[in-house]
Structures are given as structure tokens and as C-alpha cells.
Structure 1
Amino acid sequence: MPDDVSSAEFQSPPPDFVVIDVETACSRASSICQIGIVGFRGGREVFEYETLLDPCDEFNIFNTRIHGIAAHHVVGQPRFGDVHAVVERHLAGRTTVAHSFFDKSALAAACRQHDRPMIETTWLDSVRVAQRAWPDLENHKLGGLARFLGIAHRHHDALSDARAAGWVIVKAIEQTGISLEKWLAPPRKPGPAPTPAEAGPLLGERVAIVGEPRDGPLAHRLAALGAKVMTSVGTSTNVLIVAGGDRFTRATLMSPAYGKAEALRRAGKPIRIVSEQTLLAAIGQAA
């Protein structure tokens, strides 16, 4: 894409954040052969930039099989040094999202390789965001997240990958109510599980929770009723409680905790899987 085509994004107001994805020609991180950048403002896309690059390096067949870009595709394309100024104008001084920090390291390696200054930007890892927003998913790879969230996506195309990672951020903000500024803060580590009361209708129950941290409001409520809140599902766990509503979501069904509880049940272990509402209603503690 020519430099002047991307100039529309520099009109005010600026994007809330930009997303970058790169593809590389070989195992060297500096061998960028495609860059995709998408800007987001107010929960929608406001600009995009994409270009193929001559990586000035070899193309490994393994990489080409992944993204479909080969040496003949980049004949006559610019080198990274030629587009560095454009990339810098998109990213510098802004919040830049990448799905894992491979793209951050590749960008830094390319700057060193082509003798260009490092691009100063504030990085946000959309993998970490997804892990906090949907902790019960089995994994947080971009392809799986796109399917789970209903995002149109063509994997290992730099522009499509950048767009999908951007929508992960938008949907995570919608899901959690956590602002972009708060996503940039270090994540809070869960504290210890609460101490169980010495009496109550759940005395003797060893419970694990899916959908809420072990020190969250539900954990404290269960402990006050006598339950011992476990860090994870184990052979001594006898109840897995699904936090929230009385219906199990796709994220719950895909979670490692749910899968482990089901495996224990199939092996003959006496473990129940119930929703928060069902359990509390059964002991007369429904809200």
C-alpha cells in the first residue's frame, strides 16, 4: 500500500490502539516478508496498512507452507528499511497490540538488521488479554479465539491476523468491562483461597470453581458455608461449581477444569458438576 494511502489515519482523533502482525521468511526474526497494521477507535476499525516486503533473506519452505509467501512474491517489493518511517508513524507513541510478542521481537530485529531506530510504543499482548477475559478456554491461539468469538479470520495473513487480534481486544473490553488503560496494567495474581468456616451446609465439601478466581466473591461465599475451596480440580475434589448463570457456556465446556472433572467422573470418582445457582438453591442459599 503506498505511503499516501495510509495518511487518512493521521487525521484527528487518533486511534485508541493499533495492532501489528508480521510474517517471516525463515527462522530469523528479522526476515519480515509481510506486515499488517490495523487501527481501532471506539470499538471499530478506522484504518489498515499492509505490504509485502523483500526480507533480504532466504525463504524457508517451512515458513512458506505456513503463510504461502515465497521469494517470487516479493520481487520488486520494498525492504523493511523503505517502510520503517511508515510503520513508525503508525505505532510510535501509541498502544500497539500483538498476539504474543513475537511481532515485537521481529520488529526490533528488523530495525537492527536494517540500521533503523527502534520504534517507541507501548506494547499490549492480546494473548494475555484473552487469558484474563476467557480463562476457561483450553488455549488462546488466535485461530481458536477467532472461531470462539465469531471473528472472520484467515490465519497467517498479516492483515487478517492483525484485524483478528484487534477484535479480540474489543470483545475482551466488552466481556469484562476492563478499559484499555487497565489492560495495560500488570494482571492481578489471585490470592489464597479463603479459609472455610467451621460449620455450615457445605462443611466437608471440597470444591473447585470455574469462571471465577479462587479468591473471588463466590469462593468467599462458599467458604463461609463451610466448603474448602481448592486451587484446581483434583482427585479429592467432589464438586466443580460453574460460576455465574445456570447454563454452561461454550467456554466452560472447553475449560481444562471441566474436562478434568468429566474425566474423573468417567473414571468412577464421585465428583459433581453444578452451576452456582443450582448448588446454592439446593442448600437454601439462592440469592
Structure 2
Amino acid sequence: MSAPGAHVAAAGTMPDFVVVDVETACQRVSSICQIGIVGFKDGAEIFEYETFVDPLDDFSSFNTRIHGITCDHVAGKPSFAVLHATIDGHLSGRVTVAHSYFDKGALGAACHLHGRAPIETRWLDSVRVAKRAWPELQSHRLNVLTKFLGIRHRHHDALSDARAAGMVILRAIEHTGIDLAGWLAPATSRGAAVPKPASIGPLKGERIALLGAPRDGALACSLAAAGARIMAAVGTTTTMLVIGDDQPFGRYVTAHEDHRRAEDMRRRGVPIAITTEADIRARIALPIAS
């Protein structure tokens, strides 16, 4: 377990987002006994903060079996009331990521219990992000995601959990092409349900971004039915960019961000195809859209 109170900060640097994780001593969510916070900017970690907390509560054997923290670890450590100003300084006014809203609830309960003001921050649930980025996974628990993504992780250590959840956000941004603002936007503005890929078909294994065609439209449904996974935008794992027949960009299509990104990937030797709706329909024997 990392040393309590470890703190490295980049002075004057405002993170794009921070990530928080807490461990609790017992079934009461207010019984925070460890807090980990990690800040990220421009895709890199810029600070970390971790401390044990005296929960002023009992430790249950069930919780201790999960995270390994006992009353001995928190003996002489500050209470949440003492630490509130530090935690608020890291989170308040920023985008705060947590893997599920358990941590949000725990911090809120601890603020109420100790008579401290609620922490005003904008929350982003990395579980919801992961479910949309990797819908094929059966579970989106943090330990499952880190194994899938190859992220080093010590489960149920607050600092390691916070760092891992932050890496999940960065990988989701890279994987889907949706930036932080896009993940924060209301679900309705991010588009309707995307069709799931068929388990078999001539496009199985292809990860296709569409330019000038909706992700829930007829073309997307046809490609998904042929086994393709429909991507939100051109990202590092995209294998094909399909330009819709009705795309609105005319001869300026090559100026679109997705097209430029795909061309740049090709120049770097990344195997991504750029094709048209008509060509892909011909390739998999789909009828031409009327």
C-alpha cells in the first residue's frame, strides 16, 4: 500500500480532470478510511494525493478483507473534518471522475456527518464511459477493465484505483475519439443508440467510423449487421472510415477532422481504409441506398 499523505503537485497547473477514490471502514458510506486523488492534464498525470483517514467509526471484518485497512493503519491520522479543506481544494470547481458514484455518495455523507460544506464539482462516472466505449465487455468493474486494457493496478487501494479510473477515461477518449467535453455532455446530445455488431459477417473485426452518416442510421445498421463495430469517430483502433453518400461536406470532405486524422494515420503506417458508402455496400453485397 502506498505511503499515506504522498503528494506531488504541479504548481500553477490546472488539471483537465481529477479522479477520486475512497475506501470505507464499514457499511456506513461516511466511514472513509482512505482517499486517493490523481490529477490529469493533456493525457498525463500531473499530481497525486493519498492519505489514510480516521473514520471515527468501527472497522468491519468484511471491509478489511476487501482493502486490508485496519484501525492500526488510521491510528493518529486526521479525521475527514480536518482533511476536508485539502480534499475540497483538489476537487472543487473541477471535473471529478469516480468509478461509479459510490465515491460521490461517500464524500457527500462524510461532509454531512462532519458538518462540512458539500464539495462542489462536476462528476463524471467512468463506469458509464467504459460501458459506452467497450460495450462488448461482460463486466465494467475496474479490475476487469484494467486487465482488459493492460493497466497496472492494485485493486482497492485508493490511489491505485483513482489512477486506474483516470487511465480508463484517457483510453476511452483515445479509443472512441470522444473528448472530455463529449463525455460530459448529456447523453441525448451524443446521439441515439448505436447498433451492436453481429457476431458473424463479412465485416467482423472492422471498427468503422462514419463521415456524413448517423451512427444510428440505415448505413450504420447495415454495417453492424455485417459484423462491424460502429465507432464514434476516427481513433487509434479504427480500421475504416466510410464516407456516406449523402455527406454534407462536398469537395471539402478532406478538410473534416475525421478525414484528416485517418490520412495522418495512413501516413504513419496505420492500416486504416478510407472508402465510400457505395464501395462498402458493393463489397458486402448490400443494396444501394435509394
Normalised to the residue count of structure 2, the TM-score between the two structures is: 0.69
Give yes or no for contact 2:8–2:49 (8 Å, CA) kept in 1: no
Task: Give the 5 Å matches for 1:1-287.
Answer: 6=7, 8-9=9-10, 11-187=11-187, 188=190, 190=192, 216-217=214-215, 220-221=218-219, 241-243=227-229, 281-283=283-285
5+ unaligned residues in a row in structure 1: which ranges? 194-208, 231-238, 246-276
Cα deviation for residue 220 of structure 1 reads 1.1
Identity %: 54
- Specify whether residues 175 and 115 from structure 1 end up closer, same or farther in structure 2 by C-alpha distance, changes over 3 A only: same
- Specify whether residues 222 and 285 from structure 1 end up closer, same or farther in structure 2 by C-alpha distance, changes over 3 A only: farther
Cα deviation for residue 182 of structure 1 reads 1.5
Cα-Cα RMSD: 3.5
**Amino acid paired to 2:192:** P
Cα deviation for residue 178 of structure 1 reads 1.1
Partners of 2:73 and 2:109 in 1: how far apart? 22
Cα offsets for 1:245-266 (capped at 9, x unmatched): 9xxxxxxxxxxxxxxxxxxxxx
Partners of 1:164 and 1:191 in 2: how far apart? 27
Cα offsets for 1:163-204 (capped at 9, x unmatched): 0000011111111111111111122462698xxxxxxxxxxx
Give yes or no for contact 1:210–1:240 (8 Å, CA) kept in 2: no
Give yes or no for contact 2:214–2:220 (8 Å, CA) kept in 1: no
**Amino acid paired to 2:229:** A
Give yes or no for contact 2:194–2:215 (8 Å, CA) kept in 1: no
Cα deviation for residue 285 of structure 1 reads 7.5
Partners of 2:207 and 2:186 in 1: how far apart? 20
- Specify whether residues 222 and 116 from structure 1 end up closer, same or farther in structure 2 by C-alpha distance, changes over 3 A only: closer
Normalised to the residue count of structure 1, the TM-score between the two structures is: 0.70
Cα deviation for residue 282 of structure 1 reads 4.6
Partners of 2:60 and 2:208 in 1: how far apart? 44
Give yes or no for contact 2:215–2:230 (8 Å, CA) kept in 1: no
Cα offsets for 1:216-262 (capped at 9, x unmatched): 55851377xxx7x99xxxxxxxx6623369xxxxxxxxxxxxxxxxx
**Amino acid paired to 1:190:** A
- Specify whether residues 222 and 179 from structure 1 end up closer, same or farther in structure 2 by C-alpha distance, changes over 3 A only: closer
5+ unaligned residues in a row in structure 2: which ranges? 196-204, 232-278
**Amino acid paired to 1:181:** A
Cα offsets for 1:11-61 (capped at 9, x unmatched): 223010000000000010000000000000010100000000110000010
Partners of 2:139 and 2:125 in 1: how far apart? 15
Partners of 1:94 and 1:222 in 2: how far apart? 36
Q: 1:241 is paired with a residue of what secondary structure?
A: coil
Partners of 2:108 and 2:175 in 1: how far apart? 32
Cα offsets for 1:57-102 (capped at 9, x unmatched): 0001000000000111111111111111100000010000000000
Q: 1:116 is paired with a residue of what secondary structure?
A: coil
Q: 2:12 is paired with a residue of what secondary structure?
A: coil
Give yes or no for contact 1:136–1:210 (8 Å, CA) kept in 2: no
Give yes or no for contact 2:18–2:39 (8 Å, CA) kept in 1: yes
